[in-house]
Amino acid sequence: MSLPLDDRTRFGLMTRLPTPELARKTVGLLDRLEFDSIWVGDHLAFTSPILDPFVQLSYAAALSPRLTVGSAVYLLPMRHPAGVAKQAASLDHLAEGRFVFGIGVGGEFPPEWELAGVPHGERGARMTEAIQVLRKLWTGEPVSHEGRFFPFSEVHMQPASFTPGGPPIWCGGRQPAALRRAGRMADGYMSYVITPEMFSEALGTIAAAAEEAGREIETFGTSHLLFCCIDETYEKALDRAAELLSKRYAMDFRRPAQRYAALGTPADIAEKIAAFHEAGVRHFNLDFIGDQPMRIEGLHRFAEEVRPLIA
């Protein structure tokens, strides 16, 4: 079985919206430059300040009538899915179906799981059951659930999601268990810090799991979060990316930047994107590394210098 992919290539921005002014400027620029989407991440406690994704995305959806808004990725196992179902369905309504719910198990920062009172080793099992609960509650019908973590007797959560069946769920992850879960349960796959070769292999694992589960899929979303740094040379871009990403993740990120990021001249960036497209990526979630002025510069340079090079 091969996964049916989107017939169009789309580009979005991975960012943060820490103030109303920056939110308005960022969303307005994405509209003017004809990007397709805006994405924000999720952590309870991180190495730097980060706001709640549902709040940020609701604000962004109100500022643009056309942009898709998405989470990349929401740490679903960290929360009870009942409250998440209500938040996600509400955003789906306010965005009028322009919401993609990207979810993942995370785990890079164990203290935030302790903060949430969720055992670190239960992330995968909680994720699987939480997806089941979300699907049930989004129907808008009376439902109940028997499970290890989130059992409940019959309840009627209203309204149903704006999107029939709920907003599309795109699962992140690199481990085989996460990929098989995406194949069994998800509407799409979101990758992060992997190579084009790894992406292609991941799609094979996902497709096999979908076929084993007997699924009939009309279109499967394929997205990649790509660190991006455009500069005069590859070496300058690498130095800047390594410095900024090492600070963000509180670790030496030079070697990962070399392997996973799109770095260098506009032609270098276009070549990396072409490799991921060949591997199956149809939604590029671009993270222009740096502060807000660097992100704005990256958006302009990508639109003006990189996109014309992409077939």
| Contact indicator for 311, 253 with CB cutoff of 8 Å | no
Give the pLDDT confidence score for residue 157 in this predicted structure: 98
Task: Characterize the bridge pairing of strands 68-71 and 99-104.
Answer: parallel
Predicted confidence (pLDDT) per residue in 222-265, tens digit: 999 999 999 999 999 999 999 999 998 889 999 999 999 999 99
3 state SS of 16: coil
Look up the pTM and report it: 0.96
Per-residue pLDDT band at 298 (split at 50, 70, 90): very high
Q: How many CA atoms lie within 13 A of 116 on its CB side?
A: 20
Alpha carbons 21 and 72: distance in angstroms, whole number: 22
Task: Characterize the bridge pairing of strands 221-230 and 37-40.
Answer: unpaired
Say if residue 270's pLDDT is above 80. Answer: yes
Could you count the other beta carbons within 10 Å of the beta carbon of residue 266? Answer: 18
3 state SS of 175: coil
Alpha carbons 116 and 114: distance in angstroms, whole number: 5
Task: Give the percent of the chain with pLDDT over 90.
Answer: 94
Alpha carbons 151 and 46: distance in angstroms, whole number: 30
Residue type, position 233, single letter = T
- Per-domain boundaries in the chain: 10-226
**E-assigned strand segments in the chain:** 10-14, 37-40, 68-71, 74-75, 99-104, 143-145, 152-155, 169-172, 188-192, 221-230, 262-264, 283-288
Give the pLDDT confidence score for residue 169 in this predicted structure: 98
Q: What are 170's strand-pairing partners?
A: 102, 188
Q: How many CA atoms lie within 13 A of 160 on its CB side?
A: 11
| Contact indicator for 91, 61 with CB cutoff of 8 Å | yes
Say if residue 1's pLDDT is above 80. Answer: no
> CATH homologous superfamily for 10-226?
Luciferase-like domain (3.20.20.30)
Say if residue 293's pLDDT is above 90. Answer: no
Predicted confidence (pLDDT) per residue in 189-221, tens digit: 999 999 999 999 999 999 999 999 999 999 999
Predicted confidence (pLDDT) per residue in 3-62, tens digit: 999 999 999 999 999 999 999 999 999 999 999 999 999 999 988 899 999 999 999 999
| DSSP state, residue 12 | E
Say if residue 311's pLDDT is above 90. Answer: no
- With b for 16 or more beta-carbon neighbours within 10 A and e for fewer, the 21-32 pattern comes to eebeebbebbee
Give the pLDDT confidence score for residue 108 in this predicted structure: 87
